Chains A and B, each alone.
Chain A
Amino acid sequence: MRIIVIGGGISGLFIAYELLKRGIRDIIVIEEKYLSAGGSGRNIGCFRSSFTSPEHVILMKRSIELWLNYRSELGLELKQSGYLWIARKPETLEVFEKLSVFHRNYGIPTRVLSIDEVEHVQPGLNKDIIAGALFDPMAGRMPIFENLVKLYLKLKTLGVIFHFYTKAIRLNSSGYRVKSVITSKGEIYGDIFIVSAGGKGTRELLATVNIEFPVIDETRHPIITEPYAEILKPALIIDWDTPGAPYVTQTEHGGIIFARNIADIPEALLTSHRIDVIGLTIKPIIELLPILKYVNILRYWIGYYETTPDHHPIYGPIYPYENLYVAAGFSGHGLMMGPITGLLIADWVLNGKPSIPIAENLTLERFKIGKLVKEIAIVG
């Protein structure tokens, strides 16, 4: 059985890895550009399970457990240093209390912190403008490319074939079976096809077999400083009460990354730089952590949140096709979901259903029957 994975990012890699572990030997991964040229190489490297829908919480908790296993299994690196959600308004703490109860019901030990406790987690915060925080100790961050490269080299050693600079142009079907994928470098035949080609890429490819895939690529503009010694103690600090929820993280290399959800042209190009986003993104963070006013900005880049109508990924079989599957539309969470994506898609392909039942709620069918998932906290 030959399985074709379309998309050479974190999802495609973990899908291939999970299929290999379950005995599939003939796997071809095709990628439009180079390894992780899309969202997998453009994100800020953070993970958490403290979401506000059971789907996200359950799947992400399992994904983090898998990431932790892969430290020894694959030599991957990650650090659970926590997420700190800052409340500026006292009433936000009531929301945080409810969220914390919800998280603890699912075994995620988030807790609400007083101003003094917040200072213990991150020294130097401006206590005059904060009311408290929610802390998620299971969340964390990782060096992205170190991990991607380790996984990629492992897959190559195990016999997975990669075709880079090979763009999937259309799927070729006969009846309810996909026969082949027509690429910029020729036609590739297979028995099973899995599309994990980012937002727009997946949408355009599925349109060639008359499947409507509701995803839109929204730009994000992360900004990074020169490398510094450790300033940020938690993996991520989020300014929850400021519109666009600005956030800040510090990489393993030392660079401090700022980002914020700022309105932009829909599906603006990756090269459509905007100098105004730098100040807009950094200003609220510096109010919270004044020491950051002394840093130097090195560069900024654009990446996409491949956003679905309910900000949850679209997983699983694509009806009415018998041999077509999808994993896309992660809405900003593709990296952290990588391991669980691999596990669930391998379940669907080999067993016909996911081993974690709640994942059934995330198929494309939900948009046809109007059963969208609800989520209120979509950052980092």
Chain B
Amino acid sequence: MLGEKPVIICRCNDVTIEDIINAVEAGIDHFEVLRKYLKIGFGPCQGRSCLLLAARIFAKLTGRRIEEVISEYRVRPPIVPIPVRVLLAGVIE
């Protein structure tokens, strides 16, 4: 999977294939731990562009099925970044 140039998987946080391989080789054995450790899906895209790519690489490296690898992933609201002023509009204490 490694080419000459770094291949970026998570564009929000510049996580490369090499970062994922290194983390798995170091002993990270669950996708949620990898995700939280490398901050995959923690940027503004919330995983919409990187999550499946990262999951597929992790599945391949660990010999698991992709469904199993992403089974703990939860989509967290709001789905897209929202300016604070929008969320403050309806606050009633």
- Complex interface: chain A residues within 8 A of B39 (CB): 253
Q: Which residues B18-39 have CB closer than 8 A to chain A?
A: 26-30, 32-33, 36-37, 39
Q: Which residue from A145, A146, A279 sits with its C-beta under 8 Å from B87?
A: A279
Binds B, one of A53-61, A81-89, A294-302, A359-367: A294-302
Q: CB distance A293 to B84 under 8 Å?
A: yes
Per the bound structure, the CA–CA distance linking A205 and B13 in Å amounts to 40
Q: CB distance B91 to A279 under 8 Å?
A: yes
Per the bound structure, the CA–CA distance linking A149 and B32 in Å amounts to 12
Give the interface size class of chain B: 20 to 34
Q: CB distance B37 to A286 under 8 Å?
A: no
Q: CB distance B30 to A164 under 8 Å?
A: yes
Per the bound structure, the CA–CA distance linking A98 and B13 in Å amounts to 45
Q: CB distance A37 to B76 under 8 Å?
A: no
Q: CB distance B32 to A37 under 8 Å?
A: yes
Q: CB distance A297 to B33 under 8 Å?
A: no
- Complex interface: chain A residues within 8 A of B81 (CB): 225-226, 296-298
A269 CB to closest chain B CB (Å) equals 11
- Complex interface: chain A residues within 8 A of B74 (CB): 271
Per the bound structure, the CA–CA distance linking A225 and B46 in Å amounts to 11
Q: CB distance B84 to A282 under 8 Å?
A: yes
**Interface class of chain A by DSSP:** mixed
Per the bound structure, the CA–CA distance linking A34 and B72 in Å amounts to 9
Q: Which residue of B lies closest to A279 (CB)?
A: B91
Q: CB distance A286 to B88 under 8 Å?
A: yes
Q: Which residue of B lies closest to A149 (CB)?
A: B37
- Complex interface: chain A residues within 8 A of B88 (CB): 279, 282-283, 286, 293
Whether A280 contacts B33 in the complex (CB less than 8 A), given A153-B26, A226-B81, A292-B84, comes out as no
- Complex interface: chain B residues within 8 A of A295 (CB): 83-84
Q: Which residue from A35, A279, A286, A299 sits with its C-beta under 8 Å from B33?
A: A35
B34 CB to closest chain A CB (Å) equals 9
Per the bound structure, the CA–CA distance linking A253 and B26 in Å amounts to 22
A271, A293, A297, A301: most-surrounded residue (chain B CB, <10 A) = A297
B59 CB to closest chain A CB (Å) equals 15
Is B6 among interface residues, defined by CB-CB distance under 8 A?
no
| Chain B residues in the interface with A (C-beta under 8 A) | 13, 26-30, 32-33, 36-37, 39, 42-44, 46, 72, 74, 76-78, 81-85, 87-91, 93
